[in-house]
Structure 1
Amino acid sequence: MSLAFVHAHDCSDPHTEAVWGISWTANDTIVSVSADGSVKQFVAASGQPSTASMPPPHTLGQVSLSVTRDGSRALCNTVEGVTSLVDLGTGEVLGKHESYVRDQSGTSDEDGGPSWSVSLHPDGTTYAASGSGGKVVIYSAQADSFGKQVAKFSTGRSKYGMFCQYSPDGKRVALASETGQIYVFDVEQAALSATFTSHALAVRSLVWSADSNLLLSASEDKRLALHDVRDTGGPSGGAFATFIGHSSWALSVDISQDSRLALSGQAFHPPSIVTHH
């Protein structure tokens, strides 16, 4: 791919601050959220803004993004914990929940803090959220009950939830913590099913394989760890493989649909992308 080809696809209306979340949808568009507070949608083939309207930028940055499997809706979350469900066809905000709002007892939905990371269930009926409460909270994603708490999964520790994600089959939710632990919850049993201690520092990103059997993590310890969620008794707390190659924090990770390759991105010295086999 030539540099000229890349620059030919430069966007005419890019974000003005760091991009915190990005997703390639089933409709061949790209959705992204940014520290500038905006949610944007682009045509994948041209790199130019989609003609679909998007909601006006939030006053604070957007830090988490999750898109439905059919590419029709996007869930985004701001730095202070405002979660919004956006119709990607019309730009209409279908639901909004302020997770930082405290009740009369003085506690928020997560017993101590707003949502930071959010993840839609594959069928779009619920979403999972994590944050400073060290829990995974499940909320309704239905327009008429958006933000209503459905369930709460606890790790038993009050560590910050850095990242959470539903498995593709919707049967599990994985939670990454600031201290390096990864927790996997069984949704149907509403119980903790596995704890992985594969990292020495905060886990910044998680991704499931398409068959929901493997879980790959990226950490500030500069490593990736691959876990088989069907076998929690293996070495390193369930990690059966680790990958190195980063010179700084590994911040993002993804797996190819055939589960043969993985991509990871790092911060600093210099920012880069690494392919893992």
Structure 2
Amino acid sequence: MRLSLLGKADDDEAHQDSVWTCAWTTKGDLLLTGSVDETVNAYKEVDHKVKRHHNFTGHTLGVICIATDVSGEFAATSSLDSSIRVWSLDTLDTKDVIETNPSETWAVCFNPASEALQIAAAGGSNNNIALYNCDQTHVPISSLSLPVADEKFKKDRFVLSVAFSPNGQRLACGSQDGTVAIFDVPTGKFMHSLEGHFKPVRSLTFTPDSKMLLTACDDMHSHLYDVEHASLVEAFSGHESWVLSVACHPSGNSFATGSSDSKVKLWDMSSRSCAQTLSEHSDQVWDVAFNVSGNRLASVSDDKNICLYDYQQ
């Protein structure tokens, strides 16, 4: 398995500030990126380079997270302006805006198994995950709270990351204190925590079979967990600074990480080792994302660059 750089977005089509998040759509291989410049860009691959297709505006502060739904028709973004914006990728317009209290929305993701357009929003300092049905109301339909043994430690549970399992049965969230919590989606009940991290868990993702969870943490490690048995399977080390993002390949055979050491690493799941290190960025790599077919990886960074890589198994 190997990644090779195909190209970067041209300066006149790139963001004007740090790029913090990226996600691919399931329809049309559209790459979405969100930036501190308050905008969301949509890119398409043209002649092995990323060419801007559209620029979405509406947020009034930096864009923290982007998620796309399984139909490929919608995207959701969270921002430092405390809002969630839902975008139509067909009409390229704003579908909905959900206003939240300050610091109550950090990361967002879509429920892949919900018939409604359901979004989970990591509650930041609110210590919970709010679930919204976009077609119904701007008020959460339910809220999942992280257990806190002592109220004085509640502020340390700032929720930074959230992910649904592909089968929609489990929801995982990562916190500032290193807690990784697993919830049962049908019942909304807390199941257990996954132990091993003690610093902020900034990104997490399930494997395609929904059985395992990958995490990215400020302790410079990425962990692989058995979700149902709450056991640590492997701790991956190699980055020289915080691991900021993790993305699993659609085949489940590999995964990629981005770090504040400015590196992107490709990891082999079978050998549990680093297969490749890429140094195309000159600053922190905030996010990495594979497309649905698995032949492309994107990475975004504080250096404002959007890198597109070819993936060969």
TM-score by length of 2: 0.76
Give distance in 1, aligned partners of 2:7 and 2:128: 41
| Aligned-pair CA distance for 1:92 | 1.4
The answer to whether residue 23 in structure 2 is matched with residue 55 in structure 1 is: no
Identity, in percent, stands at 25
**Residue of 207, 210, 213 corresponding to 1:212:** 210
In structure 1, the partner of 2:284 is: none
**Residue of 212, 223, 231 corresponding to 1:225:** 223
Amino acid aligned to 1:29: L
In structure 2, the partner of 1:109 is: none
The answer to whether residue 144 in structure 2 is matched with residue 153 in structure 1 is: yes
Q: Bigger relative contact order, structure 1 or 2, given CA contacts below 8 A and separation 6+?
A: 2
In structure 2, the partner of 1:108 is: none
Give distance in 2, aligned partners of 1:93 and 1:6: 30
In structure 2, the partner of 1:18 is: 18
| Aligned-pair CA distance for 1:2 | 8.1
The answer to whether residue 112 in structure 2 is matched with residue 114 in structure 1 is: no
In structure 1, the partner of 2:77 is: 76
Answer whether contact 1:54 1:92 (CA < 8 A) is retained: no
**Residue of 114, 117, 134 corresponding to 1:125:** 117
Q: How has the CA–CA distance of structure 1 residues 211 and 147 changed in structure 2, closer, same or farther, with 3 Å as cutoff?
A: farther
| Aligned-pair CA distance for 1:216 | 0.3
Amino acid aligned to 1:228: D
Answer whether contact 1:39 1:57 (CA < 8 A) is retained: no
| Aligned-pair CA distance for 1:116 | 0.8
Aligned residue runs from structure 1 range 173-188, under 5 A: 173-188=171-186
Answer whether contact 2:7 2:50 (CA < 8 A) is retained: no
Amino acid aligned to 2:73: S
Answer whether contact 1:31 1:40 (CA < 8 A) is retained: yes
1:44 partner SS: strand
In structure 1, the partner of 2:273 is: none
Give distance in 2, aligned partners of 1:150 and 1:253: 29
The answer to whether residue 233 in structure 2 is matched with residue 240 in structure 1 is: yes
Give distance in 2, aligned partners of 1:114 and 1:135: 9
Q: Which has the higher strand share?
A: 2
Q: How has the CA–CA distance of structure 1 residues 25 and 2 changed in structure 2, closer, same or farther, with 3 Å as cutoff?
A: closer
Give distance in 2, aligned partners of 1:11 and 1:35: 16
Q: How has the CA–CA distance of structure 1 residues 146 and 62 changed in structure 2, closer, same or farther, with 3 Å as cutoff?
A: farther
Amino acid aligned to 1:194: H
Answer whether contact 2:211 2:227 (CA < 8 A) is retained: yes
Answer whether contact 1:181 1:203 (CA < 8 A) is retained: yes
| Aligned-pair CA distance for 1:146 | 4.4
1:115 partner SS: coil
In structure 1, the partner of 2:163 is: 165
1:116 partner SS: coil
Deviation string 1:212-246 (CA, Å, 9 cap, x unpaired) is 111000100000110111212xxxxx211110001
Amino acid aligned to 2:93: E
The range that moved more, 161-170 or 92-101, is: 92-101
The answer to whether residue 247 in structure 2 is matched with residue 273 in structure 1 is: no
Give 5+ residue unaligned stretches, structure 1. Answer: 102-112, 233-237
Give distance in 2, aligned partners of 1:168 and 1:147: 25
Aligned residue runs from structure 1 range 26-41, under 5 A: 26=26, 27-41=28-42
Q: How has the CA–CA distance of structure 1 residues 210 and 20 changed in structure 2, closer, same or farther, with 3 Å as cutoff?
A: same
Deviation string 1:187-209 (CA, Å, 9 cap, x unpaired) is 11110112012112111100111
Q: How has the CA–CA distance of structure 1 residues 91 and 224 changed in structure 2, closer, same or farther, with 3 Å as cutoff?
A: same
Q: How has the CA–CA distance of structure 1 residues 217 and 244 changed in structure 2, closer, same or farther, with 3 Å as cutoff?
A: same
| Aligned-pair CA distance for 1:11 | 5.9
Answer whether contact 1:221 1:250 (CA < 8 A) is retained: yes
| Aligned-pair CA distance for 1:173 | 1.0
TM-score by length of 1: 0.86
Q: How many residues align?
A: 253
1:71 partner SS: coil
